[in-house]
Amino acid sequence: MVLKKRYSRNIKSNLSFYVSIIILTTVCIMVYLTMSCGFEGMNSYIKDFRKECFSEDAQFNVYKPLSDEDISYFEEKYDLSLEQQSYIDIENKDSDGNTDTIRLFRPSEKINKYRVTYGDDITNDDELLLCRSYMQENDLSNGDEYVFNGKSYKVTGSFDRPDYISIYKDISGSFSTPDSFAIAMLTADEYKKVLGTHAEDEMDYYSVRYNNESKSNIEDFRKELNERAMVASYTSKENNNRISSADSMLTMTKDIRDVIVPIVFFLIMIIIAVVLERKIKSEQKFIGILSALGYNKFQLAAHYSVLGIIVSIAGSIIGVILSVPMQNILIPMCFIKLEPLPVKYGLEPMGVIISFVVPLILFTASVFFTAILSLRKKTISMITGVDDKDRKNKFRMEKSKLSLTTKYRLRSVFGKPVRTLLIVVGICFGSLIFLYTYGVVDSLKVFVNESVDQIGDMEYQYYFSELRTDEPEGGAKIVYSIFESGKDGKATALMGMKENDLMNYELVSGGKADIEGGGYYITKMGSVIYGVSKGDKLSIKNVATLEETTIKIDGIIDNNAQNAIYTSPENVYEITGLPEGSYNLLVSEEDMHYPGNQTSQVITKSSLRDQIDEVYKMMKQEIFVMVPFGVIICVFVIYIMINMLISESKASISMFKVLGYRNKEINRLMINIYHFVIPIAAVLGLVAGYIFVELYFQANAAAFNAYVAAKVSVVTCVKYFVLVFLSYIVSLVLLGRKVDKIEMTESLKDNRE
Amino acid sequence: MFIEIKNAKKSYGKGEAQVNAMDGIDLSLEKGKIYTILGPSGSGKSTLLNMLGGLDDIDSGTITVDGTELTKLSKKQMCDYRRKSVGFVFQFYNLIPDLTVRENVQSVKDISDDPFDIDEMLESLGIKDYAGRFPRELSGGQQQRVAIARALVKNPKILLCDELTGALDSKSSRMVLEFLEKIHAKYGTTIIIVTHNEAISKMTDVVIRVQDGNIKSVTENKERVSPKDIVF
């Protein structure tokens, strides 16, 4: 068909529009493929890692240690693997002279076996494996010497365990601190030697791997385990942040791929459909002539559909090519909380197919149907340009005292609602990405500064490995027990205490919680995770006995850093059956210097701050990658819309030139019409961005193990408004030349408007 | 002379496709008269009008209007020339679709130094009742009267009309021409009408015939005919 010649001419004459659409498509494909390859690559690596290294399904502590016979008994009876895991935390000076904690593991045989991720395995007693993140943080390479526990070791490589994919010091931790905490591995013989000088620092727990994962089988095992050994704590893999954060990160990556990217696709589709609908309208005389010559609707719609095909294929090809180098930058950002793993990403075949097929179908279909709809007009109406329907202008403003410029702008903005709406939506979407990254950083910053203090004035939390009844030298005693609740069995701590000055009892609704009165008060973070409010009932299941209790929530404590329920000690004794007067947690302002073998975990507020600080630093790096995407979308959406405005107003612009209007005056009257829409769109974008950040933290409260309230700082707001206005100004400047180029003779052409 | 054109040349295209729209035109026009430029399609009459209106540049030669040599003007000065001295009326009216009748006229008044009163202008053209309407709500004849009002409101030195009755029926054409004559009588504006319609030339003072980019003849009408008596 001779019409084919029009494709290149059409693209040449509307080059900026097609380039903009191709860039937007490229960005989409790039993000989609990167997320897709990241998800698939990491997902298959983690699956394989967990399978090959026998990742645990749960870990627990007991008050009565299990004998080898007990272990064999449980393994046979319940078709599971059970193994005691041991480690020693050793304080060690790093290259900068700072004291780091190195967690040295005894090599396990059945569960949580280690895998060398980079370099070689240890074979001699003077060799050592460290986790990759710590090596990177301390500029250590394979083959380097590392002084540990007073002895020099050769670092043969890095390793990881499936229960330490996120290297958190505490099992309830949320963020890794590679500058001060690492895991290490020595040969079994060398471990024994180290143990000789650190016997009382060795920590034990049991890991279990269920071969038969039926719920009843697991519950029966847990019940019998409790009867035999008195379970002190039981943490399923879902409640173990070192394991579950990988799944959270994978889900998040999948969500971006499956939710955010399709939204961008949809946005581009709308833009293409709207712009093409107007393009077809501007060519209606030409279409009318072709129609009169005998071309049918289908042929003409197919002709315009090819433009959609060209745009989608060009965008897909460039997107696929660029996604390869982008993977190295974007994917580590997606899995920011995980240990660096030797995952081979490459191009995921299904992702590549989708990258070509989906835009091709969506763009072509949107263009085809838009063309079909536009071709419903009578042929004669298209040729003469006389519409057979009366068009009524709703913005007459006959009696209005507004200036001509204002009236003209108002008609242009509200008379073309789709174009205006696209500008608003485009800015909102572009700003969403920008505000997401900055908002997350701002929120974490506030969280570091404020929320950590919401726990209370205590600096130290000592979790004891055994129940105690002695009177401590200081601090406040708490009896706590871990319960599972909600659909996913997410763990929460039921904490019984006498009111003290070290904990925070402020309620979100104002006033103080009446702990000693026997009420149950859940922290704000817990209320977000379980979706409960004051007055609601919540069922909690004891992880030791598996007995279920329903409690009524009497209030929400203003505490975003802890998932816990506060109540009186009596209530805890009654529900758990723990002996009255006992306690297993002590909070204090001062260091109580308990020996390592008496505590199962010691959490300090400063370590919590350090963890969040680490993520804060990493998120700041992410800004540099994510923000350009937001900027590109903002700039191009505004650019496309202003471009469309100029194309549609060509005849009027030309006429104003004939009438003696200067370019500045024309710009003021016709092009700068969105001046007042941009601030409105920017404010809406800000609100949308804030809501998005809030939803993000709510959805990920469990994964972060912290409810971070959304905050957007004044500085971010300023940056955001500057960005939006700069995008707008850049678009206007770029398109200013286009106004200049419009010939006055344009108005002398056939203009029947 | 009010308008002096000397050896003006303008061509479009290159090589074999080159068309000489003005092939060394020499022409002198007096102030306050009505001129018709007659010629078949492609003769160069519209090109001549565009050059006079400062819409396009000539390749060589000179065009002087009221002592100002257009060829020496900068882009900005040319813009000022159009703004102050020239009024245009086109075949297809070229009104701004998003402005009402009054606003179309006001858009020119707002940038003029010594404009006429809009109401008076609309009144004299018989379109005051339509002041609040948009162009698409008017007939062709009414739209052309709005275009004339817009062109005249600035009190221009020259009114350039390109096929101003080309899209109108005979009744509307006659009406528009009557208004034009009335305006000429009232304000003494120099009017140049480009047309291929011989009948229109009868109401003008001077008839200039062009063919293939050249002036074929310049004839003075001894007896001007009233637009009422023109037979289309």
Give A13 to chain B, closest Cα distance, Å: 19
Q: Do A659 and B80 touch (CB under 8 A)?
A: no
pLDDT in tens, A643-663: 878 887 888 888 899 999 998
Two tokens at A612?
A: 């969040």
- The residue of B94, B111, B134, B146 whose CB has the most chain A CBs within 10 angstroms, and thus the best one to mutate to test that interface, is B94
- Residues in chain B with CB shorter than 8 Å from the CB of A658 are 53, 55, 82, 88, 94
Whether B40 contacts B213, CB under 8 Å: no
Percent of chain A with pLDDT over 70: 94
What CA–CA distances, in Å, run from A741 to A654, A746, B58?
10, 11, 18
Chain B residues with CB inside 8 Å of A660's CB?
A: 79-84, 86, 108, 111, 154
| pTM assigned to the model | 0.69
Q: What is the ipTM of this complex?
A: 0.89
Testing the interface with A: which of B12, B82, B84, B96 to mutate, by most A Cβ within 10 A? B96
Instruction: Look at A415 and B98 and tell me if their CB atoms are within 8 Å.
Output: yes
Select from B49, B78, B92 the residue whose CB has the most chain A CBs within 10 Å, as the one to mutate to test that interface. Answer: B92
Place A732 in a pLDDT band, splitting at 50, 70 and 90. Answer: confident
Q: Which residue has the higher pLDDT, A733 or A433?
A: A733
Q: Across the A/B interface, how many CB contacts are shorter than 8 Å?
A: 79
DSSP A661: -
What is the rounded average pLDDT for all residues in chain B?
90
Read out DSSP for A591-650? -----GGGEEEEEEHHHHHHHHHHHHHHHHHHHHHHHHHHHHHHHHHHHHHHHHHHHHTH
**Exposed e or buried b per residue across A593-618, where buried means at least 16 C-beta atoms within 10 angstroms of its C-beta:** eeeeeebbbbbebebbbbbbbbbbeb
Q: Which residue of A has its CA nearest to B99?
A: A408
**Using beta carbons and an 8 Å cutoff, which residues of A are at the interface with B?**
391, 393, 396, 398, 404, 407-408, 411-412, 415, 651-652, 655-662, 665, 744-745, 747-748, 750-753
Interface test with A, best of B98, B157, B161 (most A CBs within 10 A): B98
Query: Residue-wise pLDDT tens for chain B (232 aa)?
Result: 899 999 999 998 888 888 888 999 999 999 999 999 999 988 999 899 999 999 888 999 999 999 999 999 998 999 999 999 999 998 888 898 889 999 999 999 999 988 999 998 899 888 999 999 999 899 988 999 999 999 999 989 999 999 888 878 888 888 889 988 888 888 889 999 999 888 899 999 999 999 999 999 999 988 888 888 887 7
Rounded to the nearest angstrom, the minimum Cα separation between A404 and chain B is 7
Q: Is residue A388 scored above 70 in pLDDT?
A: no
Question: Three-state SS for A333?
Answer: helix
The confidence score (pLDDT) of residue A2 equals 60
Rounded distance between C-alpha atoms, residue A688 and residue A686, angstroms: 5
Nearest to A277 by CA among A485, A418, A83: A418
Q: Decide if B134 and A398 are in contact by the 8 Å CB cutoff.
A: no
Q: Is residue A607 scored above 80 in pLDDT?
A: no
Mean pLDDT of A134-148: 92
- CA dist B115 to A229, B153, B191, Å? 102, 5, 18
Which residue in chain B has the smallest CA separation from A399?
B132
**A437 vs A713: CA distance, rounded Å:** 12
Looking at the complex, does the CB of residue B47 fall below 8 Å from at least one CB of chain A? no
Q: Which residues of B touch A393 (CB under 8 A)?
A: 98, 134
Which residue in chain B has the smallest CA separation from A405?
B107
Rounded to an integer, what distance in angstroms lies between the CA atom of residue B200 and that of residue B195?
8
Task: State the smallest CA–CA distance between residue B81 and chain A in angstroms.
Answer: 8
pLDDT tens-place string over residues A403-456 = 888 888 888 888 888 778 878 887 787 777 778 778 888 887 787 777 778 888
Task: Tell me if chain A has a CB within 8 Å of the CB of B53.
Answer: yes
pLDDT at position A753 is: 37
d(CA A299, CA A364): 14
Which residues of B fall within a CB distance of 8 Å from A406? none
- Which DSSP helix (H) or strand (E) runs through A320? helix A297-334
Which amino acid, one-letter code, is at A309? I
Q: Does pLDDT of A752 surpass 60?
A: no
> Which amino acid, one-letter code, is at A343?
V
